Every structure is written in structure tokens, then in C-alpha cells.
Amino acid sequence: MTEHNDYAGNPLSCPGCHAAMTALTLEGRLGLAVAIDLCAGCQVIWFDQGESLQLSPGATLKLFRLIGEQAGSRRGTLAEALDCPRCGGRLKPTHDRQRNTAFQYRRCEAAHGRLITFFDFLREKDFLRPLSKQQLEELKSHVQAVNCSNCGAPVDLARGSACPHCGSPLSMLDLKQAGALVERLQRAEHVDRPVDPALPLELARARREVEAAFASFEREPGWYEGASSNGLVGAGVGALVRWLGKTVR
């Protein structure tokens, strides 16, 4: 993963806070490079047209890790009206769906690209699901409020399970989907190599390790404190990133 500059030779300005965005080049499918721009303070990613769909499994995992590392860096909420960092035109809010998961982003009507929050990127990749009633009750027994993973506003758990500011339901990582990403990455690493007869057994063992780790990582020390300050998704991604750091490089 390397840094890049935009086609004008200067970093893009974040549509939210107008600070310089961090430009990154990730691995794309079929060996192509995918350039993105990221603002940790606003927790948004700018994709030029179609780039999100071109990310390789390895690039998606790197971006997943980066989101986890920046979970506590939010500076504020996004304004309602935002402009395209390429042409200055107003970005249009757009609703979409990945399988059964709804997500949204803001797109340039001149087709320069789109802006998506970390939260909705994870939704797009089908990594999130709403809390169950049992999970919500368990959360209430440990903390009184959590910060919304989408906009950062406080959510009083005694009053409901959705953010009063942006309407996002309290969500957490879908561990099955996250485990599937790890397995897809492991398969992708073997595409251009001779097939190892032991690969199916290795993948089965890795899947069991993933499931065992995911069954306990939410109960590790500091989990609820992190969930309260960084949001459920931020705390979950952060815990998963720490585990991935020990297993997948």
C-alpha cells in the first residue's frame, strides 16, 4: 500500500473538513492499482468512479485494518451539503443495497466519484448487522450510552437502539462475513501457485481458528470501554484488527 497524489499533483481536500486527504494506492483485481483518498478525522473515503468494486480481497483487508486503526480519530459529524473534491459540484446522497444490507454514499453527478463513510463502506462490503435483542440487553448491562458508529453522536441506550441524530441502528460486525473475508484472502494468495493438496485442510483449520477467536474477542479487556467511546463497530473492528495482526499479513 503506497501513497499517491491526484491527477493535478496535489492531495484532494476533504469535502467534510477541507483538510488534505491521505492518498493511498491499493491492489486491485487483475493486477490493477486502485487509488483512493481518505480522511481519518471525518472517517470518509473518496473513490473515483468504480474504484470500490475493483478492490482485491487483500486491499479490502488492508482498508479494513486502516478503518480499525482510525476508529478513535473522528473530529465531528459531516455536514448535510458536501461538494465534489474534483469539480466542486454538489454531491448527491444516494441509497443502495448489498444483498440484504442498505447503505448510502454521496456521488458526483458529473461521474467523478463518490464519498462514503467508513461505516457505510463496511455496510457495502456486508460486514455489519444490527444488534439482536439479547445483545442489546447485554450491552445495556455494561454501559449507559455509546457513540454512533456512523456519525459519532451519543446514543442513550435507555431511550432506544438507534442514533437520534442520523437514524442508524446500533450495529456490530457480522463475524461470519468477516471470517469469510479472511478465507477469501487466503484463497486469493494461492491463485497463481500450484494447488497444495493440503490447502482444503489448511482452510478448514483456519476457519475453525477464526470462529474460535471471534467467539471470544468481544469479551476481551477494554471491549465495553472501547464500545462506549469509539462505537460498537469501531471497537469490534479494532479488536479484529489486533487479532488479524497476529495471523494474516
**Do residue 20 and residue 107 come from a single domain?**
yes
Question: Which residues form the domain of 111?
Answer: 2-124
Instruction: Show Cβ contacts of residue 7 under 8 Å, excluding neighbours closer than 6 positions.
Output: none
Residues 87 and 178 in one domain: no
Task: Tell whether 147 and 72 lie within a shared domain.
Answer: no
Cell of 144: 449507559
User: Which of 23, 67, 68 is CA-nearest to residue 48?
Assistant: 23
Domain boundary (124, 148, 169) is at 124
Q: Using CA atoms, how far apart are residues 142 and 68, in angstroms rounded to an integer? A: 22
Query: Is 141 found in the same domain as 116?
Result: no
DSSP-derived 3-state class of residue 170: coil
Q: Mark whether 120 and 147 lie in a shared domain.
A: no
Q: 141 and 96: one domain?
A: no
Is residue 242 domain-shared with residue 212, that is, in the same domain? Answer: yes
101, 124, 147: which is the final residue of a domain?
124
Residue type, 174: D
3-state secondary structure 59-123: HHHHHHHHHHHCCCCCCCCCCCCCECCCCCCEEEEEEEEECCEEEEEEEECCCCEEEEEHHHHHH
Q: Yes or no: say if 16 and 148 are a contact pair by the CB < 8 Å rule.
A: no
Q: What is the pLDDT of residue 6?
A: 44
Cα gap 122→8, rounded to integer Å: 30
CA-CA distance, 126 to 230, in Å (whole number)?
20
Quote the CA–CA distance of 135 and 128 in Å, as a whole number: 14
Q: Are residues 8 and 105 in the same domain?
A: yes
Residues of the chain short of pLDDT 70, as ranges, are 1-9, 52-53, 175, 179, 181-221, 243-249
pLDDT at residue number 172: 86
Instruction: Indicate if 211 and 97 belong to the same structural domain.
Output: no
Decide which of 124, 143, 160 is a domain's last residue.
124
Which of 87, 45, 81, 41 has its CA nearest to residue 62? Answer: 45
The distance of Cα 141 from the centroid of its chain, to the nearest Å, equals 27
Q: For residue 87, what pLDDT is reported?
A: 95
Instruction: State the burial class of residue 43 (Cβ atoms within 10 Å of its Cβ: 0-12, 13-18, 19+).
Output: buried
Which residues 6+ apart lie within 8 Å of 41 measured at CB? 14, 16, 17, 19, 73, 74, 75, 76
Amino acid at 22: T
Residue 156 confidence (pLDDT)? 95
The answer to whether the CB of 86 falls within 8 A of the CB of 137 is: no
pTM of the full predicted structure? 0.79
Considering the domain architecture, whether residues 154 and 210 belong to the same structural domain is answered as: yes
Number of domains in the chain: 2
Quote the pLDDT of residue 162.
92
Same domain? For 109 and 222 the reply is no
* pLDDT score of 145: 92
Q: Are residues 102 and 192 in the same domain?
A: no
